[in-house]
């Protein structure tokens, strides 16, 4: 296996609006990140991935970019960014930016020009079609509810938008568009940026003829109509050849519709496209026919299978990304752990899982202290456009809105966007003003300051686990095998190479469990656990206990 710095890295993801506000306007900023750089460094991570900080009207909180080369003044502008990059490099931290190139904001000057007339030199930067039978050109729906087409009165045509109507899709079939984007990427590399996370990169090549979808399930439409278009690999190779290959950087493509079959095509080392992808097989695990807002129960075995199958798919010449949450999903401890009685244990269990898997590990801000979902009482407390649109649609469909509110509580992206809980003071120490999104009321219990003081806190456990991974490259590169034989509550796997042989056991539940195995217990030593107080037999686990055993 080829060794690379980015394979060994632990990445810390920052959603800047919610990280730390230094101006008192209620919105996080770059100065706030600067203030907390030593904290981030103290976690032992290597890389920071910053969600978009470019100029944007914020219809989708920065994922609608109106200027690719300008840092938003809301976040402190270019000058603050330059200081951040310099200080990060001084501290040995790398910076990965977010490239949102499937679409722009409708306020980007390309789109402003494009919509002026059919003859605009920018018209072909976007995807315009005539309507069909007095309606949109096809039956596609947006990720954020409603049609994926918006009618424009000036030129009497529709434009395509997979996300909000303020996020028109770029036309990557136009070589000028590709050139523009490659130039943007190069511009940031020249400034010293260390890589890109590429937003919905799987969607950039549109299918020939934009055919109607025939699928009932939105997930199927994504895979078959929106993602993995006919020229996707051509365009990624082109980007790699033109820009990426010239710099020592890392890339991670975000990909709805990336699955076990096509995943290796994006990241195969010999293919010269991307280094890693974020697939969503475990993130969409609870989506029903209606998608995320139609949640369905899932089992631990489905969850384990995702990790096991992806490890298998990428082990020959590819590389994975290991994450359990980000700014688009509910909090990992609420979703895959227990945010009640076993909050601490289960948050540590999930940390153990993240940091003992093969792949590059991504930790989302706040997960290192076990931040949980929030349940705002009113829909007006929510900000996320996906949530608000889903709400409107449910209302129009006559759904029971009390029941829908509990779906919002479990599914809303705002669960992950509440301000970081720094201490138990006003607004959790996030801002002296009014936060753009209300702080989770549990900040008095769950916060950084309190966990700094507690040697057995979740925060200190993250530090230990990150250091442990760094000290044991077997956990980065070593082989993986799942050993629990589809146990409904245990997840047990082996990680090994010439240097070490680890057995990692997790109990995803309250009832104590014993791993039934022929492995020789006497040859194993307990190296680490998320709890000292539970089961002492090596292969036995108390509620939400994890153990790392090493074979002699
Ligand atoms: O997300 C892509 C994506 O697939 C999401 O729309 C996802 O399905 C949804 O958020 C799940 O709730 C990326 C960004 O991470 C997201 O924040 C943006 O809104 C989106 O692209 C559009 O740029």
**CATH T-level assignment (fold) for domain 109-160:** Oligo-1,6-glucosidase; domain 2 (3.90.400)
Checking if the pLDDT of 290 tops 80, the result is yes
Q: Of all protein residues, whose CA lies closest to atom 2 belonging to ligand 1?
A: 200
Q: Of all protein residues, whose CA lies closest to atom 10 belonging to ligand 1?
A: 328
The CA 415 to ligand 1 mean position distance, Å, reads 14
Checking if the pLDDT of 532 tops 80, the result is no
Q: Of all protein residues, whose CA lies closest to atom 14 belonging to ligand 1?
A: 199
Start-end of CATH 3.20.20.80 domains in the chain:
9-100+321-334+342-348+360-374+418-471, 175-319
Checking if the pLDDT of 533 tops 80, the result is no
Start-end of CATH 2.60.40.1180 domains in the chain:
478-551
Checking if the pLDDT of 445 tops 80, the result is yes
- The CATH number assigned to the domain with range 175-319 reads 3.20.20.80
530 near 546, Cβ under 8 Å? yes
pLDDT at 1: 74
Please give the average per-residue pLDDT across 506-535, as a whole number. Answer: 93
pLDDT > 90: what percent of the chain?
97
- The CATH number assigned to the domain with range 9-100+321-334+342-348+360-374+418-471 reads 3.20.20.80
Q: Of all protein residues, whose CA lies closest to atom 7 belonging to ligand 1?
A: 328
Pocket, ligand 1, Cβ cutoff 6 A: 60, 63, 100, 143, 163, 199-200, 254, 256, 292, 327-328, 386, 413
pLDDT digits (tens, 9 = 90+) for 105-143: 999 999 999 999 999 999 999 999 999 999 999 999 999
Start-end of CATH 3.90.400.10 domains in the chain:
109-160
pLDDT at 304: 98
Indicate the pLDDT class of residue 374, thresholds 50, 70 and 90: very high
SS3 451: helix
Mean pLDDT of the chain: 97
H or E segment and range at residue 197? strand 195-198
pLDDT digits (tens, 9 = 90+) for 217-238: 888 999 999 999 999 999 999 9
Angle among Cα 235, 239, 241 to the nearest 5 degrees reads 115
Active site residue 381: no
Q: Which candidate in 254, 311, 384, 501 is catalytic?
A: 254
The CA 198 to ligand 1 mean position distance, Å, reads 11
Dihedral sign computed on CA atoms, order 287, 290, 291, 293: negative
Q: Of all protein residues, whose CA lies closest to atom 18 belonging to ligand 1?
A: 63
Angle among Cα 422, 11, 223 to the nearest 5 degrees reads 110
pLDDT digits (tens, 9 = 90+) for 160-179: 999 999 999 999 999 999 99
Active site residue 311: no
Indicate the pLDDT class of residue 535, thresholds 50, 70 and 90: low
- The CATH number assigned to the domain with range 478-551 reads 2.60.40.1180
pLDDT > 70: what percent of the chain?
100
Name the residue of 13, 50, 102, 143 whose CB sits within 8 Å of the most ligand 1 atoms, as the mutation to test its pocket: 143
Report d(CA 490, CA 486) in Å as an integer. 8
Name the residue of 200, 294, 417 whose CB sits within 8 Å of the most ligand 1 atoms, as the mutation to test its pocket: 200
Neighbours of 496 (CB within 10 A): 16
Report d(CA 547, CA 494) in Å as an integer. 12
pTM attached to this predicted model: 0.98
């Amino acid at each position: 296996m080829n060794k690379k710095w980015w394979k060994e890295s632990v990445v810390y993801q920052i959603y800047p609006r919610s990280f730390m506000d230094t101006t008192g306007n209620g919105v996080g900023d770059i100065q706030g990140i600067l203030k907390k750089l030593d904290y981030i460094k103290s976690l032992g991570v290597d890389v920071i991935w910053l969600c978009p900080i470019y100029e944007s009207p914020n219809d989708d909180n920065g994922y609608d970019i109106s200027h690719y080369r300008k840092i938003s003044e809301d976040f402190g502008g270019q000058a603050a960014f330059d200081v951040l990059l310099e200080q990060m490099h001084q501290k040995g931290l790398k910076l990965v930016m977010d490239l949102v190139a499937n679409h722009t904001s409708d306020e980007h000057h390309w789109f402003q020009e494009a919509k002026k007339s059919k003859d605009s030199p920018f018209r072909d930067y976007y995807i315009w079609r005539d309507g069909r039978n007095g309606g949109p050109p096809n039956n596609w729906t947006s990720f954020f509810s409603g049609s994926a087409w918006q009618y424009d009165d000036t030129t009497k045509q529709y434009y395509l938008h997979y996300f909000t109507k303020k996020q028109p899709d770029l036309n990557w079939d136009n070589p000028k568009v590709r050139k523009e984007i490659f130039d943007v990427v190069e511009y940031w590399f020249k400034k010293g940026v260390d890589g890109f996370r590429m937003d919905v990169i799987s969607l950039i090549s549109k299918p020939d003829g934009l055919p109607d979808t025939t699928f009932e399930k939105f997930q199927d439409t994504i895979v078959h109509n929106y993602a993995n278009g006919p020229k996707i690999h051509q365009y990624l190779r082109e980007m790699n050849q033109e820009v990426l290959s010239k710099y020592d950087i890392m890339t991670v493509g975000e990909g709805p519709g990336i699955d076990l079959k096509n995943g290796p095509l994006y990241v195969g080392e010999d293919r010269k496209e991307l280094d890693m992808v974020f697939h969503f097989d475990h993130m969409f695990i609870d989506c029903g026919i209606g998608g995320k807002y139609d949640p369905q129960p899932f089992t631990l075995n489905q969850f384990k299978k995702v990790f096991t199958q992806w490890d298998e798919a990428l082990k020959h010449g590819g590389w994975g990304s290991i994450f359990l949450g980000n700014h688009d999903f509910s909090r990992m401890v609420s979703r895959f752990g227990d945010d009640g009685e076993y909050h601490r244990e289960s948050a540590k269990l999930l940390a153990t899982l993240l940091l003992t898997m093969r792949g590059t590990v991504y930790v989302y801000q706040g997960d290192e202290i076990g931040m949980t979902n929030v349940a705002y009482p009113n829909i007006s407390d929510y900000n996320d456009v996906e949530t608000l649109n889903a709400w409107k649609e449910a209302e129009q469909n006559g759904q029971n809105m009390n029941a829908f509110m509990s779906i919002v509580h479990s599914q809303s992206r705002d669960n992950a966007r509440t301000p970081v809980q720094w201490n138990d003071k006003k607004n959790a120490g996030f801002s002296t003003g009014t936060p753009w999104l209300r702080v989770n009321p549990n900040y008095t219990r769950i916060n950084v300051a309190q966990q700094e003081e507690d040697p057995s806190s979740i925060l200190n456990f993250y530090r230990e686990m990150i250091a442990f991974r760094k000290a044991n490259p077997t956990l980065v590169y070593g082989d993986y095998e799942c050993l629990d034989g589809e146990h409904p509550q245990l997840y047990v796997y082996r990680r090994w190479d010439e240097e070490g042989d680890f057995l990692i056991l997790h109990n995803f539940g309250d009832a104590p469990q014993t791993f039934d195995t022929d492995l020789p217990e006497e040859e194993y030593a307990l190296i680490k656990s998320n709890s000292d107080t539970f089961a002492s037999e090596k292969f036995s686990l108390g509620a939400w206990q994890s153990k790392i055993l090493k074979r002699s």
